[in-house]
Structure formats: C-alpha cells, structure tokens
Amino acid sequence: MSGKQKASAPMGYVSGEYAVGTTCFTVVDKNRKKVVDEGTEDRKIAVRMYYPADKDSVAGKKYARLFSEAKLAAIKNEFHIGNVSDDMNYVEYYEDVPFADGKFPLIMFSMGYKAYVECNSYLLCALASRGYIIASVGHAYEAIENDYDDGTTDHFDKRIQKAMYTSMIGAVLAQNRFMKKKLGYGEAAEQFDEFQKKYTPYLIGRTGEWRKDMEKALEAVKERYADCIDTSRGIGATGHSLGGCTAYHLCRYNDEFSCGINIDGALFGEFPEKTMEKPFCQISCRQNVNCETRPLLQTNADTYHIIFDDMAHLGFTDAKFYIPVKFISGKLDPDELFRHLVYCHITFFDKYLKGVDIAFEGLQSDKTEYKKI
C-alpha cells in the first residue's frame, strides 16, 4: 500500500454525556514468565484505560496521540502503509484527566491475535462516553507491539507463525472447505473442534494464557480504580478475534464476569461440559459463522447472534477506517458497521450491566441478521 493513508473516523462516535479520558499502565505477573519465548523475565501485561471524564475538565486540552512512535512504526510495517496522515493518530480522548464523579460499570477488552491494545479505540471511546470504564489488555509477544511503563517494548514473536499450524497449507485448505459447509450449530462446533485439534493445537493453549492476562489485569484495575468502579452487576467482557474467544472463556469460567460479547472470534480452546449461565452475544461475519457457534450452545441465559454480510474479519477493528482494502476489511460501509457495533455493545451492556429495561432488537439493515437463540 503506497501513498498517504487518511483516516476516516466514524461520525459522532464520542456522543455520550461524557468526554473520554485515557491512561496506560503495566501489570507484572510474577507468577508467570514470558511464556511465548520461554524467557526468564516475569510476564508483562500492557493496559490502556478508557473512562468517563467531565466535559468541563477537558476544556481547552488537546487530544492525546493514539499510538507511540514504536507502535505506529510497527503498524505501518505490518499493514504496508507508507506515509500516515496525522488524522490516523488521534481519537477523541484526553490523557490522564480526572475521572468523572460517580461509579461506572467495568468492561474488560482483549485485542485479537497480532493486533494492538488500541485496535478498537473508536468503539471503546463510544462506550466510555456513555458511562463505562474499559480496560483494554495487550498480550506480550502476541501483539504487533506493546509499550511498557519502564520504556521497553515487545513485538510479535515471528516464531509463533511456525508454531501456530501443524501444516499451514493443510489448515488453509481444510478451513476453506469447512467454512463453505452449511451446518447446524452443533455440527459446526464438533467439526471446528476436530479442525483445531488437528491443525491448530498451539492456539488451544493460548486462550488459557490470555485469560490469565485478563484476570491479572483485572486485579490491578480493581485495586487502582476501586472508587470509580461499580461491580454490583458484575463485570463485562468483550474482544475481537482470539480476544473475543477469551471474553467467552472469562464469562464461562470466571464468576466475576456476568456477561460478554465475542466480536468475530473463532472458539479455540477446551470446553469441559458446563452450561453457560450468563448473557452472551456472538458477532460474526457470514463467512466465519461455522467456527463461532460454541457460544450458541449449552446455555441457559439470553444469547444473541448477530451476523454481518459483506464483512471481513479485520473490518471489525478500527483498521476498517484506514485500510481501504475490501478483502481485508469487507465491503460494508465503515460507518454502517460501526453503528451496528456500537448499538450491540451499548444495548447489551446497558441491559445486563446497568439493568436498563431495554429490548435487544437490532437495527434495520439488509446487511445484518439479528437472532435471539
């Protein structure tokens, strides 16, 4: 991709009653090592907070930059972007401003594989402006780049590419055949389980490690922001790709989490027999449905499935606004996609974290399908 890439942010994404503050910090897990490279250092976890701030408190202040220089360079390299417009490197948030008065529900967000902590900043800012605190968590050596408080960084460990598949060609061919089948939810889950055990056993183990990252980050968030967080209805979880899969694991196996959303994440991992007792929403692009049916099974709680046509996997992140490549981000208009993504999150979490009596009925569109399971 050459030329200067212009960002085209969604319209009115910070449209709630609050301005949005942000701050970053590092959590060190002394009970685990680096894990991926089998190093001897304690595992670091990068966290970026998005939170409500009073609009008066940010008057006259400049927006914070979205990316560090190291992260921007890594993103440009990963997506083969030449020059980057300044518009791409900001969102409507302010660094280290005071929290708004009151207590707000907490949502934990997990990035996708080889993504970055800020990969869904537009969505997380939209949530914060409507009265949520969100902690976005990075996973060491599995992100494009992570920044830490001590000034160090890490990048995606390229050895993972070889470890990820038992056979790259075999996995691609098997996946293409599997995705084209018309299967019921149960059949799809069984066949995906066979696929992951044969071709991607490495990823089965990563969900457990990512869940530990999220739980360690949660400990730090609760300690740091105890006076600002309302956990009376539990904690929400969301994430994209493997991060969405991690959100499902957290809701299914951690009692602190009360509801969650998976944004187009294949359900890698082991699932001992246990019925889901918590509301959950699965968001899928049409082509990925067969690998995302697990959340729609073994549940006694409100469960939703939202399916998008004309979408590709990476398009569920902010990349849809600055990578104009259809096979990467999908054909669906970015603003339409974003409108649905915000609707799903706000309506779902208002209902289950704030206790608002609201129906989850979906938005009118010929490009989406809303189902209650």
What is the crossing angle of helices 201-224 and 185-199, to 10°? 100
Calculate mean pLDDT across residues 357-367.
91
94 domain-assigned:
yes
Hey, what's the torsion of the CAs at 354, 225, 110, 283, to 10 degrees? 10
188 domain-assigned:
no
| pLDDT surpassing 80 at residue 241 | yes
**Looking at residue 4, what is its pLDDT?**
47
181 domain-assigned:
no
**Looking at residue 2, what is its pLDDT?**
41
202 domain-assigned:
no
What phi and psi, each to the nearest 5 degrees, are found at residue 118?
-95, 15
| pLDDT surpassing 60 at residue 6 | no
Please state which of the ranges 209-213, 270-274, 289-293, 344-348 shows the lowest mean pLDDT.
270-274
**Looking at residue 8, what is its pLDDT?**
66
Domain that holds residue 50: 4-156+208-372
Radius of gyration of the chain (CA): 19
67 domain-assigned:
yes
175 domain-assigned:
no
52: tokens are 């409500």
> What is the share, in percent, of the chain residues with pLDDT greater than 70?
94
| pLDDT surpassing 60 at residue 37 | yes
CA-to-CA distance for 4 and 29, rounded, in angstroms?
A: 40
**Looking at residue 5, what is its pLDDT?**
47
**Looking at residue 39, what is its pLDDT?**
67
| pLDDT surpassing 80 at residue 324 | no
The DSSP result for 174-240, as a single string, is HHHHHHHS---HHHHHHHHHHHHHHH-HHHHHHHHHHHHHHHHHHHHHHHHSTTTEE-TT-EEEEEE
**Looking at residue 32, what is its pLDDT?**
85
pLDDT tens profile 329-350? 899 999 999 999 999 999 999 9
Neighbours of 130 (CB within 10 A): 21
pLDDT band at residue 38 using 50, 70 and 90 as cut-offs: low
Can you give the CATH number for the domain in which 219 is found?
Answer: 3.40.50.1820
42 domain-assigned:
yes
264 domain-assigned:
yes
**Looking at residue 272, what is its pLDDT?**
79
> What is the share, in percent, of the chain residues with pLDDT greater than 90?
74
Q: Count the domains in the chain.
A: 1
- Please answer whether residues 147 and 182 qualify as being in contact, where contact means their C-beta atoms are separated by less than 8 angstroms: no
| Whether the model pTM is above 0.85 | yes
**Looking at residue 3, what is its pLDDT?**
44
Calculate mean pLDDT across residues 177-196.
94
| DSSP code of residue 346 | H
Calculate mean pLDDT across residues 12-28.
93
Summary mean pLDDT of the chain:
91
pLDDT tens profile 62-77? 999 999 889 988 888 8
pLDDT tens profile 101-157? 999 999 999 999 999 999 999 999 999 999 999 999 999 999 999 999 999 999 999
